[in-house]
Amino acid sequence: MARLSRAEAQTRNREALLRTARDLFLRDGYHATSIARIAEETGVTTGAVYSNFDGKAQLALLVLRDIQRERIGELRDVIGGAGAIADGLDRLHDWTSRAMASGWPRLELEFALDARGEARLVAAEADRQRSVVDSLAAAIETRLADHGVTPGVPVRTLVESAVNLAVGLATRHVIDPRVTADNLVDLIRGLLPLVSR
């Protein structure tokens, strides 16, 4: 077997570090996960971590971007799925329940609290959150247009509000795992008639 070039080895290490960081961040949380633990679990030195990343915050931001891309892709699939708009609410409930149980909300919360003092990270987080609203608003506008529904309320305003509620719900779930997606989905179900007025 041919020996890996330095660049190939670094790429392989970087990918392995990201996978390990993701697993640890989701399982143990941002605060409990150290660079040393990520290095140990990956089978590399802490120097190898720092030769690939600026530190734990950069690792977490990259992990969160990957998780967000995956989860929001899933959510866009839920929104764009076949059937009546109301039928998608059961799929939304399932998606929300899985997302809340995944460790993602805890990682988001811990990272946001840790990053709030660093302007660069705050800007990156704000951009990342805005992109979620933009992506979901576009998906919902397409879905409504496909069903011949003219929104009576600006879709972006509704999406922004729903995302804010979802973040609050997820934060509450981190604190109290008995908090579920039921109320959010029921609220959306109740608001559907208002969207098409």
pLDDT 10s digits, 126-183: 999 999 999 999 998 998 888 888 888 899 998 998 889 888 999 999 999 999 888 8
Report the C-alpha gap between 41 and 7 in whole angstroms.
22
Please name the fold of domain 56-195: Tetracycline Repressor; domain 2 (1.10.357)
Report the C-alpha gap between 106 and 180 in whole angstroms.
15
Report the C-alpha gap between 184 and 162 in whole angstroms.
8
Domain boundaries, given as residue ranges, for the chain: 1-53, 56-195
- Assign domain 1-53 to its CATH architecture: Orthogonal Bundle (1.10)
Beta-carbon contacts of 34 under 8 Å, excluding residues fewer than 6 positions away, are 56
Which of 25-34, 56-65, 76-85, 135-144 shows the lowest mean pLDDT across its residues?
76-85
Give, as one character, the DSSP assignment of residue 191.
H
Copy the structure tokens of residue 35: 């660079």
What distances in angstroms separate CA 144 from CA 2, 121, 133, 138, 151, one per listed residue?
54, 35, 16, 10, 8
Report the C-alpha gap between 40 and 46 in whole angstroms.
8
